[in-house]
């Protein structure tokens, strides 16, 4: 036994190792799920109807990620079987708040899946001005023009 300043080092608790703890939990779950089959659970939920505008904004923006383009990266995702590039519609003013105007084309940015998740979960704050969406992402200030359409009288 090793002693340091009169203490038994072997008896001291090991420092917490997040990777070891995670591996142990995964191992425990793996033992449980190795012989389990998937279960079907019924889920009842409400969803807010967003309408077809997002599909048309994607087309109007050429199926590209506006943030990737602003950051100087390839703005096109993979091609779907129909030949269109994959991109997602992000409602800047959250539709979940049910605010008037949140369903309009001028409230939508087209973004790749990574930027979409970053906008939702990465603490990115977007300021909406009359003509643009302004934000700081990956340390860069970005200004994305809002889609402007003539309004019907």
- CA–CA gap between residue 30 and residue 28 (Å, rounded): 5
Residue 69, CA distances (Å) to 11, 84, 87, 89 in order: 57, 17, 13, 15
Nearest to 51 by CA among 116, 109, 113, 95: 95
Share of the chain above pLDDT 70, in %: 84
Asked if 2 and 12 touch (Cβ cutoff 8 Å), the reply is: no
Give the lowest-confidence range in 51-55, 71-75, 109-113.
51-55
List the structure tokens of 18: 């997040």
Please give the pLDDT value at position 153. Answer: 46
User: Has residue 4 got a pLDDT over 80?
Assistant: no
- Residue range 47-76: mean pLDDT, rounded: 91
pLDDT at 1: 46
Phi-psi region of 98 (alpha: psi -120 to 50; beta: other; left: phi over 0): left
Question: What whole-number distance in Å separates Cα of residue 133 and Cα of residue 142?
Answer: 8
Least confident interval from 25-39, 79-93, 110-124: 25-39
Question: Which runs of consecutive H residues, i.e. helices, occur in 34-107?
Answer: 53-60, 66-70
pLDDT at 82 over 60: yes
pTM of the predicted structure, to 2 decimals: 0.74
| CA atoms of 91 and 68, how far apart (whole Å) | 17
pLDDT of residue 44: 79
Q: What is the pLDDT of residue 8?
A: 60
Percent of the chain with pLDDT over 90: 53
pLDDT band at 145 (very low <50, low <70, confident <90, very high): very high
Cβ-contact 70, 144 below 8 angstroms: yes
Q: Structural domain boundaries of the chain?
A: 53-145
Q: Which of 153, 117, 152, 124 is nearest to 138 (CA)?
A: 124
């Amino acid at each position: 036994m090793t002693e340091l300043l009169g203490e038994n080092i072997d008896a001291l608790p090991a420092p917490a190792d997040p990777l070891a703890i995670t591996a142990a939990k995964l191992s425990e779950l793996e033992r449980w799920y190795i012989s389990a089959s998937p279960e079907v659970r019924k889920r009842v939920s409400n969803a807010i109807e967003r309408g077809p505008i997002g599909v048309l904004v994607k087309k109007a923006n050429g199926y590209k990620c506006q943030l990737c383009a602003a950051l100087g990266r390839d703005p096109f995702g993979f091609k779907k079987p129909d030949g269109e590039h994959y991109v997602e519609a992000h409602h800047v003013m959250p539709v979940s708040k049910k605010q008037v105007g949140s369903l309009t084309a001028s409230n939508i940015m087209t973004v790749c899946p990574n930027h979409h998740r970053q906008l939702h979960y990465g603490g990115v704050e977007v300021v909406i001005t009359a003509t643009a969406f302004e934000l700081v992402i990956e340390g860069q200030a970005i200004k994305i023009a809002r889609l402007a359409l003539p309004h019907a009288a």
